Structures are given as structure tokens and as C-alpha cells.
Amino acid sequence: MAQIKEACGVFGIYHPGGEDAAGSIYYGLSSLQHRGQESCGIAVCDTAGPMGNMNVHRGMGLVNEVFREDTLRALRGNLGIGHVRYSTTGAATLNNAQPLVLNYIKGTLALAHNGNLVNTEELRQELARTGAIFQTTTDSEVIAYYIARERVHTRTVEEAIRRTADRIKGAYGLVIASPRKLIGVRDPLGLKPLCLGKLGDSYIIASESCALSALGAQFLRDVRPGEIITVSPAGISSNLELCREKQAHCIFEYIYFARLDSRLDGHAVYDARIKAGAALARSHPADADLVTGVPDSGITAAQGYAAQSGIPFGTVFYKNSYVGRTFIKPTQKERESAVRLKLNVLESAVKGKDLVLIDDSIVRGTTITGLIRLLKQSGAGKVHVRISSPPFLYPCYYGTDVPSNKQLLAYAHPVEEICSIIGADSLGYMKVSDLSSMAEGLPLCRACFDGCYPTAL
């Protein structure tokens, strides 16, 4: 519960040869599971069948819990989209699971959305005043409604999407399925990732390149910020009318969200985290016997720190892979027991040694406090904590579940106090000025660290 969460992951595929898309979407969503674990869904249609033949299945839980072999067999269609969700706007209920499917005067539309809008309430009220009835509490439904409304007055669904994009503000990576088209849309700032791939004659649009790798597909390129990509029986086309010079890619994709084997906007996530660890070693050196990382998010940065500092890297935690994601208990004693079930210390690896412990972030401080206590109870000497991101000081409005300021440990306490609170012997955060070294030359959104938001709120 102390971890920062991402909003969602999206995946879309079009098989022009007529093969069913549901199996491909299943594997794509499974590889994006790290982006959302609350709910998931798949919507498919047959491009050779009658218009409006959208078939959808959604459920609460992980992809392999919601979709069984018989469920996938029932989802017949060669074009489809999928979604994994963690709620940041709207409650964690089945009603809010995606993809959303709308039946309207021009036909059928399915939409899956990653990100958050910052003008949702304004748009929702405008729609409500003209008679819209909402079935969910998500900003994604607002996007879908506006596209459907604009489509009534436009020649193509792409034009309706472009007009809608002029109204919505914030972060979004969208995959949209109409009866004959697969469409991908990325917000003009590039806050949320989206990429294009190809498998034989089939095209794929997904949140991360790791979803392409899961199918053995070729990574073609990232969708440009502001770009609308359309895949249809006529081929593939691109609209760049929404593209702007100003960009602001989310830095936390590189720090934590994206899977280690993904590439985002020309940069390997693995390389970015190695660079983060090296920057930490330069700015916050420590006298220690061993460098280690908190599984799994701190491991790569710890390797970068070790390589830069010359201190050996070692594994000191055993991670129990069979503890379920729902192992959250209400009392402090039960939470501590849960931590011990999920992570246990390798006593022989730490006994009598001074350690550098790397993690990607400190939010409320509860997790790192428990791990330091476990290390010292197992015989570790000093524990020097290093964090591969700056202190969280401001909430995020673009789809990263950063809590309000009052819940952020760094907002209420200086570094020296945090060090004492978590029981570390020293504490060092990555400098905001060092973030650019993770994705060299890429314009970044660092608002959760410096309060400089790239849009009006």
C-alpha cells in the first residue's frame, strides 16, 4: 500500500488475415500487468462482419484470473483492444473496468485509456447539462462521450477524436476500436507512453514495448506526442495536427512504472535505472561493505550504484513469489507479518556488514522502515539508504497515484528527520538536477518533485 501506483496499461491489435485477436490481447495485457492489477478487459470485433458487432468481457482481478480458455474462445473478432487498470480516477469497481463500449447513432466504439485528465469535472458537468447519463465515475467515459458526440458532426472517427483532443487536458494514451479501425492517440505532452509494433501483417499499439516482445512482434517506433495513428484494412495512417513543440514525459516511467525490458521514447528503461544508481553514488557516496536493492524496484539502481562506487553488489533479500497481491492486513502487527512473508533477509549475507540499501522512492516511509528493522535484527551493521528519485513533495494529477501532500513523508519532514524516522544511519535522495541524466535530452515532467506542472490545473 505504500507503493506508488500507475493508472493503467492499454493494448490494441488488428489482424488483417482474420485471426482472432483475443489471444494476442491476453498475452499483451499479461505483459502489462505491472501497470494495473485491479481489473482488466478485452473488447473485439470482426472487421468482415456486420457493423456494431463488438464483443466485450471485463472482470475484477488479474488477467489470468479474469480470462480463461473458454472466455477467450468466445471473444471472436480480428480487431480488438484490452486494458489493465489501477484506479486513480473512479472507484475500483466492475462498472469502471475497461474497455468502455458505447453504442451510439454512428455505430459502436470501444475505448481504453491510460492517464488522467485535469479538466474532467468541467467536461462532465457540460455533458450532464446536455442530458448525458454516466455509467461510470471515470474520466475515460468523458473522453468516449465526447468522441461519440463529435462523431455525429464529422466525416470520420479520426476527426471526432481530434476535436475531442482539443477539449481534453492532461495525460492520455488511448487505444480505440471502431468496427473497421484500430486507433491510437497520445497526449500532446507525451506524458503517457504509447508505441507501435508489427507482427507479420498485423499492427499493434501498446503502452510499452515489452507487450510487443511478449508476442514476438517488431517494435516500429514510439507514437509521437499528439499523434493519432489509424490502422484499417486500407493500411496505416498518421495525423500529426495535435503535435506541439512542448513535451513533458513522465520521469516516473523510468524510475519505477515501466517494465525493465521496455524502451520508452528512444531510451531503455534498464539503462535509465543504471544511470540513476550511478548518479546517486556520485552525489551520495557511502562507506559500506555491500550494496543491495529492495526487490524488485531498487535492484537495477543498486547495480548502477555498485558499479560507480566500486562497492560489491549483493542479494540480501529472499522474495516469496507466492504471496498474493491482496495480502494487506488492517493492523500494524499483521502488516509487519505480511512484510516478513513477502521478503525475508538472508542473514549470512548481512551479518556484520555495513550496507547501502537502494529503493526507488519513499512515500509514507512504512515499507523502508520495516526493511531496515529486519536487516538490523539479522545482524547488519550500518544501513545507508539511497533513493533513486528526489523526495516526493507534490501530488500528481496525470495518472500517478501520488497521495496528497499531508501523506507524503518528505513534505512534512526534512531529510535528517526522515533518516531518523525510518531508522537509517544515513539517507540520500537523487537530485532533481540529475534526473535528466536518466533519459538524456528528453523533456521531462518532474512536477511531483519540483511542483512545476506542465499544464494549467
**Which residues belong to the active site?**
8
E strand intervals along 46-164: 55-60, 79-85, 100-104, 107-114
d(CA 98, CA 87): 11
At a CB cut-off of 8 Å and minimum separation 6, what does 221 contact? 195, 196
The SS3 of residue 205 is strand
Kindly report the number of other CB atoms within 10 A of residue 294's CB atom: 21
Q: Please name the residue that has the C-alpha cell 462523431.
A: 151
Rg from Cα positions in the chain: 23
The SS3 of residue 224 is coil
d(CA 445, CA 396): 10
| CA angle, residues 9, 80, 167, in degrees to nearest 5 | 60
Q: Please name the residue that has the C-alpha cell 511531483.
A: 448
d(CA 421, CA 414): 11
d(CA 194, CA 207): 4
Rounded to 10°, the helix 139-151/120-129 angle is 50
> Looking at this protein, which amino acid is placed at residue 260?
L
C-alpha cell at 133: 447519463
Strand partners, 445: 250
Q: What is the DSSP string of 246-285?
A: ---EETHIIIIIS-TT-EETTEEHHHHHHHHHHHHHHHS-
Burial of 250 (0-12, 13-18, 19+ CB in 10 A): buried
Query: What is the β-pairing status of strands 100-104 and 107-114?
Result: antiparallel
The distance in angstroms from the start CA to the end CA of the chain is 27
d(CA 396, CA 447): 7
d(CA 171, CA 6): 12
